[in-house]
Homo-oligomer: A and B are copies of this chain.
């Protein structure tokens, strides 16, 4: 046999090696620590609802069985929650999985997809990975998504997809229901609006777009954030039945963990638990803002479970990520201007927030005495 495998398909061969994220496990190894204080991936510091944990534990007794490939029970519960039919819902292994499906199903190679430069990296990863063309517009100077620019870019590029994370990651900004509706109405008629509502649970339900299905809007939700099930890998898309049927032609039938299905079903009913998480996250955000003020750091308004602190420049923010890592704290840094001089910090528990506050103050002092030179 030959010495080397044959080349990949041209589209994939041409892709750069890329990883949207370096994981805390890898950073911990690099720094010789068993674990880090995880404030970098916007996981919930408040865990999963105890009843959901109990359901997952119980379902492990049947983990030798494949999960229901249709996720019928969960989809029925989600349909009831959202006032739609089960034919409006696909369950998949998180929004990352759903974004891949949406790109694969609706973007042919070369098709344009419009997003804000520096918004959620995995969307860009899939667009590029499937051979479509990512067209971006910058954030507003204040860190919000520029809806008018997105609309203009969508028309200019004849985009088939427009991506809006709402609330947005990594900025934390939010666009209210009326503005989203007006935005959607201005998009090209053959463009889908990929509405990534991963952080939607941290916004008052009345501020989100009403539940009625618009045939060109794909709403994606997850159990990874407020529900505390990031490691379970489960999320869903609410969309027109024809879109759900299209996904069914190509999706991984058995892609969702059985225990995760059971956990999500129970978690969905734990509204008081989730409300408590949302309230505690709001307290944490206020604490972070106050911390920023105390230390002379601006913070961006956030409608999510994280806050961006302005560290002053890209170089200083990079140094800050490393300085916090040296102190055992994992945070991330947005990659694109005007956010790239910020660090993005998930709301931790009260004790994690205290630990972070101390480490941030120390690291700031270190950065002040060892100023980062501009390149």
Q: Are A64 and B4 in contact (CB under 8 A)?
A: no
A53/B63 contact (C-beta < 8 A), A26-B72, A249-B129 known? yes
Nearest chain B CB to A162 CB, angstrom units: 12
Residues of A43-93 at the interface with B, using a CB-CB cut-off of 8 Å, are 43-48, 53, 56-57, 59-70, 72, 93
Nearest chain B CB to A26 CB, angstrom units: 6
A19: which of B61, B94, B253, B259 is its contact (CB, 8 Å)? B253
Nearest chain B CB to A117 CB, angstrom units: 20
A63/B70 contact (C-beta < 8 A), A3-B215, A4-B240 known? no
Which secondary structure dominates where chain A touches chain B? Answer: loop
Measured CA separation A59–B229 after assembly (Å): 12
Cross-chain pairs A/B with CB under 8 angstroms, 8 sampled: A8-B246, A12-B246, A17-B249, A23-B70, A38-B65, A57-B57, A93-B93, A233-B256
Residue of A1, A67, A100, A263 with highest tally of chain B CB at under 10 A: A1
Measured CA separation A166–B135 after assembly (Å): 45
Contact with B along A14-28 (1 / 0, CB 8 A): 011111110101100
Report B-chain residues with C-beta under 8 Å of the C-beta of A46. Answer: 64
Residues of A within 8 A of B (CB): 1-6, 8-13, 15-21, 23, 25-26, 29, 38, 41, 43-48, 53, 56-57, 59-70, 72, 93-94, 96-97, 100, 104-108, 111, 122, 129, 160, 184-185, 189-192, 214-216, 224, 228-233, 239-240, 242-243, 245-246, 248-250, 252-260, 263
When A and B form their complex, which 3 residue pairs have the shortest distance between CB atoms, in order from nearest? A231-B258, A6-B190, A25-B68
Q: Are B243 and A5 in contact (CB under 8 A)?
A: yes
Measured CA separation A174–B315 after assembly (Å): 59
Report B-chain residues with C-beta under 8 Å of the C-beta of A240. Answer: 4-5
Q: Which residue of B lies closest to A73 (CB)?
A: B25
Residue of A13, A23, A44 with highest tally of chain B CB at under 10 A: A23
Residue of A2, A12, A252 with highest tally of chain B CB at under 10 A: A252
Measured CA separation A96–B105 after assembly (Å): 18
Measured CA separation A250–B65 after assembly (Å): 28
Q: Which residue of B lies closest to A53 (CB)?
A: B60
A96: which of B15, B254, B260 is its contact (CB, 8 Å)? B254
A5: which of B16, B107, B216 is its contact (CB, 8 Å)? B216
Report B-chain residues with C-beta under 8 Å of the C-beta of A66. Answer: 23, 41, 43, 224, 230-231
Report B-chain residues with C-beta under 8 Å of the C-beta of A252. Answer: 93, 96-97, 100
Report B-chain residues with C-beta under 8 Å of the C-beta of A255. Answer: 93-94, 96-97, 233
A257/B230 contact (C-beta < 8 A), A41-B66, A66-B41, A250-B12 known? no
Report B-chain residues with C-beta under 8 Å of the C-beta of A185. Answer: 1
Nearest chain B CB to A99 CB, angstrom units: 10
A1/B184 contact (C-beta < 8 A), A66-B23, A249-B129, A253-B122 known? yes
A232/B259 contact (C-beta < 8 A), A12-B104, A64-B48 known? yes
Task: Given contact pairs A2-B216, A23-B69, enumerate 13 new A-B contacts (beta carbons under 8 Å).
Answer: A2-B189, A4-B215, A4-B242, A5-B242, A6-B191, A8-B246, A9-B108, A17-B245, A47-B63, A67-B233, A96-B252, A231-B258, A259-B259
Nearest chain B CB to A234 CB, angstrom units: 9
Nearest chain B CB to A142 CB, angstrom units: 28
